Amino acid sequence: MYKENFRIIILFITFLILIPSSLMGQERKKEVKKQNPLQQEYKIAQSYENIGEHKKALDIYRRLHKADPESPLYFNGMKRTMIFLKMYPELVNLLESRLKTKQDINLMGDLADAYYRWGKIDKAKELWNKIIETFPQKDFSYLYVSNLMVQNRLFEEAINLLLEGRKTLKNDKLFITNLGYLYYYRRDFKSATKEYIKLIKINPRLFNTVNKYLNRFPDDSTTFKEVLPVLIENIDREPGNPSYRRLIINLYMKHKKYEQAFNQYKILDNILNAKGKEILRFADMTLNEKEYKIAEEIYRYFINKYPSHKQIPKARFGLAYCYENIDNVPDDNKKMTPGYIKAIEEYKLVAEEAPESILKAEALYRIGEINFLKLFDLDNAINYYNLIVKQFQNTYICLTAFLRLGDVFIAKGDLENAMLNFNRVKNADKKSGKDLPGKARLKLAELEFFKGRIDSSLQICNNLLDEIPKNSDIYNDLLEFTLFLEDNKGINNNLINNYARAEFL
């Protein structure tokens, strides 16, 4: 009996709770139905506008504006659709009516724009002048009107207006970026440069901004001839200003006039009392651009001018790399010799001058590469790679040398020693080895293929494919080799083994 009464009480309480909530739900539905009809119509007008039914949208916007003349949403809707439908007389009436109750620079601008689109150019100009006279924030007024002119593609008029504003307000620092952009758009790069360079005069820290603007200019010879005199003029006026030197250097570099850039770098280095730092920076820059001839000249200049500089080994390494990539260079007897022979001489000097530096390891590695790939002196290559392995253990370049030793032993036909070196890299810590363990495993898969062990090679490849990311340096090579193995898996073993041996040889 007690349980039955308790159940009835619970049901009654639940009923009391549910009735108000259901009534509230019904009330919400009524509220939705009673939603502001103007808002619903506004959404319909927007939908018409979005599908290109501008006349239908305008009819609704008119009704809405009449119902609520103060709403900016309805007013702007009318304005937009009238512009699209080119109903300029009616648009002018709408804007003039609005201006009677509210003096606003945007409304005046819209009215001037409507007159201009309508063809009433004198009236538009009259309004533009009125904007400048009416609003006390003069510089903003000039900018605002110039933007209206730009919107109507009146670029020359916009330029003249800003120049007039600068003169009227007696402030040559006004509208610099605006005028620079307009000159740039008009392809008057000389005038654009004159404007942008004023930013450095105002604040030298804006050098990067100015350089970015100038880098947007085309790299044709006509533009070069327009910009160069402006930079030279500023340098002549302030020869000790490093920013102007950097701008002209960047211009020369952009147009691959490296000798002229080099001359400016020498001056810049003196201005900054950089003691060769700027020269070496320029040498590295041209090396990265693979301009080996000019880079060689700059490195030699640095080495001869600053023989006791702490960066001599680095400069010598750069010089050696230039030699390595130049076909023939003169030796001490003025005879032409292959560049890589001269490179070895310089790399050896680097190793002597920086005995404990990683730069020595890199120099030894380059000598090993030249012996392996250029001179085909495999034993000498092994000697230099081994020097790295002994002195620079547990480094990335040590693992790189092990990997290369494996390649050299393959070239010698010694697959066992090749496998030994690849395994050293394969088992290396991934943090220090980065991508090298994966490369070593691919090499081991190739060794298995050379030995005719196709299934073993394929297993290594498939395991590696599951582990390395697709953006890895070796992914494409690995995938190609794996597909090759898969395609030839069913071929007669003797045939594929013979092919593998032929590939190895």
CA separation for the pair 12, 312 (Å, rounded): 95
Nearest to 317 by CA among 269, 276, 354: 354
The answer to whether residue 484 scores a pLDDT higher than 80 is yes
Which one-letter amino acid corresponds to residue 450? F
What is the mean pLDDT of the segment spanning 96-113? 84
Helix axes 72-84, 88-101, angle to 10 degrees: 150
> What are the pLDDT digits (tens) for 288-297?
999 999 999 9
Nearest to 298 by CA among 316, 278, 282, 321: 282
Nearest to 293 by CA among 273, 260, 316, 323: 323
Task: Note the maximum CA span of the chain.
Answer: 122
Return the DSSP state at 170.
Answer: T
For 258, the token pair is: 């490296």
> What are the pLDDT digits (tens) for 212-251?
999 999 999 999 999 999 999 999 999 999 999 999 999 9
The answer to whether residue 344 scores a pLDDT higher than 70 is yes
Assess contact for 183 and 191: CB atoms under 8 A: yes
What is the mean pLDDT of the segment spanning 261-271? 97
Residue with tokens 């900018």: 143
CA separation for the pair 433, 397 (Å, rounded): 9
Asked which of 49-53, 199-203, 362-366 is least confident by mean pLDDT, the reply is 49-53
CA separation for the pair 286, 292 (Å, rounded): 7
Instruction: Give the DSSP H/E element, type plus range, for residue 328.
Output: strand 328-330
CA separation for the pair 473, 41 (Å, rounded): 59
Report the chain's terminal Cα–Cα distance, integer Å: 100
In sequence order, what are the beta bridge partners of 337?
Answer: 329
Question: Is the pLDDT higher at 280 or at 108?
Answer: 280
Nearest 5°: phi and psi at 336? -80, 135
What is the mean pLDDT of the segment spanning 95-104? 82
Asked which of 20-29, 94-103, 124-133 is least confident by mean pLDDT, the reply is 20-29
CA separation for the pair 120, 396 (Å, rounded): 74
For 59, the token pair is: 């009819």
pLDDT of amino acid 102 = 78
Which one-letter amino acid corresponds to residue 341? I
Give the helix, strand, coil percentages of the chain, each rounded to 5.
80, 0, 20
Assess contact for 158 and 120: CB atoms under 8 A: no
For 161, the token pair is: 């207006």
Instruction: Give the DSSP H/E element, type plus range, for residue 329.
Output: strand 328-330
Residue with tokens 């030298």: 204
What's the half-sphere exposure (Cβ side, CA atoms, 13 Å) at 200? Answer: 24
pLDDT of amino acid 332 = 66
Nearest to 410 by CA among 457, 368, 372, 452: 372
pLDDT of amino acid 11 = 40
Nearest 5°: phi and psi at 330? -75, 140
pTM score, two decimals? 0.75
> What are the pLDDT digits (tens) for 412-423?
999 999 999 999
CA separation for the pair 327, 319 (Å, rounded): 14
Assess contact for 404 and 385: CB atoms under 8 A: yes
> What are the pLDDT digits (tens) for 374-413?
989 999 999 999 999 999 998 999 999 999 999 999 999 9
Question: Is the pLDDT higher at 351 or at 112?
Answer: 351
Q: Supply the Cα-derived Rg of the chain in whole angstroms.
A: 38
Instruction: Give the DSSP H/E element, type plus range, for residue 471.
Output: none
